[in-house]
Amino acid sequence: MALVPPESSVLWFGPLDPILSRELESRSCRLFAIPIDATDSTVTIAPHLADLDRLDLGRARFDVAVVPDILGRVREPEAMLDALKIALRTGGRLIATVPNAAHPAVRRALEMSLDPYRGGSPLDTGQTRLFTRDSFCLAIEEAGFALGRLDSVDDDEGAGPAAWLAVAYPLPIAGLDVLQAQFRELARARDESDRDARQLRELLAQTRDALDSAHRRAEDLAAQDRASHAAMIDAHDALLLRDQEFRATAGELLTRLEELEPLRRERDAAHRHALAAESRCRALELRIEHVVMEFPRRLARPIKRFLHGRGSRSPSSLS
Closest to 182 measured CA to CA, from 216, 146, 142: 146
What does the pLDDT average to over 216-240?
90
Give tens-digit pLDDT for 29-68: 888 888 765 444 443 334 345 556 567 777 888 999 998 8
Separation CA 184–CA 10 (nearest Å): 24
Q: Rg of the Cα trace of the chain?
A: 61
Domains (range + CATH), the chain? 9-174 (3.40.50.150)
- Return the higher-pLDDT residue of 137 and 176: 137
Separation CA 30–CA 21 (nearest Å): 10
CB 169 within 8 Å of CB 93: yes
Give tens-digit pLDDT for 151-210: 878 776 666 788 888 888 888 766 566 565 666 666 666 666 766 777 788 888 888 888
Closest to 105 measured CA to CA, from 117, 96, 93: 117
Rounded to the nearest 10 degrees, the angle between the axes of helix 77-87 and helix 133-142 is 50
